[in-house]
Structure 1
């Protein structure tokens, strides 16, 4: 199993992306957290913004398609997309995640 993250400035955009990922079977679950405060560099300046963080739980075979969906639906010029392998997943949770939509 993998975990993927992105952030969006608007709650409605976060919900739209989360629903699309689950509806298309690319993520078993998406958690929306926030708002959170992000501090980052943009065009030579240090910026600060309130954002919503999405945490996707996905199977490795859906990684490329989910990344493509994030880039297609995301309003940012350079959206965050970080995806890592989970070191340990309970058998019951993994079995649930592997169930077809």
Structure 2
């Protein structure tokens, strides 16, 4: 079991929730948090820019990273979406087991 947290941002809550529902439906995530909007300030193509975005936290297993990344890229309107995977090194054992149980693909 290798639990991970995948972080991304979507331009609006509706598209963030669409991703969340897809991931949960396909057993690719145990839980997805679509957080309150935030303001992101960044440099893109040589110019400073900003955007209101909805942060998304995806709890899953390492083995699902590639498929989650594909879905984010497919469902995301940005040319270059943020997709960051962070290993979960420790946590409440029962919660980590729940992540594993919920993300076991049904065969």
Aligned length: 101
The 3-state SS of whatever aligns with 1:98 is: helix
State TM-score, norm by structure 1.
0.94
Note the C-alpha offset of 1:98. Answer: 1.7
SS of corresponding position for 2:95:
helix
Q: Which runs of 5+ in 1 are unaligned?
A: none
Q: Does 1:68 align with 2:66?
A: no
RMSD: 1.1
Unaligned runs of 5+ in 2: none
**Moved segments of 4+, more than 4 Å:** none
Offset at 1:100?
4.3
The CA deviation string for residues 9-63 of structure 1, in whole angstroms up to 9 with x for no partner, is 1111011011111111111100011211100011211111110000000111111
